[in-house]
Amino acid sequence: MTATTAATTRHPQQPKHAKLGDREKQDKHRGGQRSPEERARTRRAPEQGKRSEAEWTGARTDEAAGAITASRARIDALDAHIIGLVQERMAVSAVIQEQRISSGGRRVSLAREMEILGQYRDALGKPGTTLAMTLLELCRGRV
């Protein structure tokens, strides 16, 4: 099987749309080097068939559907940016952990984690604490 065939071959049980598109082929060729923001910006809506944009978004009017579609694109871009920031946070946290460990300290500073939990709780309420705990879990013990 050639490299070209391997890139376009799909499992028989996968739906037809699971085949790599031109954008995905370019990503694969470039080693997946597109930023999360670029991926969100160029993401296409799922195949809508004969459904109107209003039906696809659940809106009652075309005007509302346009606003929903634009807002969803903005949310996708924000999510991509947030993911990038979380990945950056994980990298910075790894540096901190390496420095702590190499200097004879502990990997985790519980006092610092409590401070972070408090910041998120103060800013976002109880769900903020849950979010902070998830972030801390993602960043903990990667060294």
- The verdict on residue 143 lying in a domain is no
Number of domains in the chain: 1
- The verdict on residue 39 lying in a domain is yes
With tokens 């296409």, the residue in question is 44
- The verdict on residue 109 lying in a domain is no
Provide the domain limits for residue 35.
Answer: 19-44+52-84
- Where does the pLDDT of residue 56 fall: very low under 50, low under 70, confident under 90, or very high at 90 and above? confident
Gyration radius of the chain's alpha carbons: 21
Please name the residues in contact with 134: beta carbons below 8 A apart, sequence gap of 6 or more. none
- The verdict on residue 4 lying in a domain is no
For the stretch 84-143, pLDDT in tens is 999 999 999 999 999 999 999 998 999 999 999 999 999 999 999 999 999 999 999 765
What are the backbone angles phi and psi of residue 103, rounded to the nearest 5°?
A: -95, 10
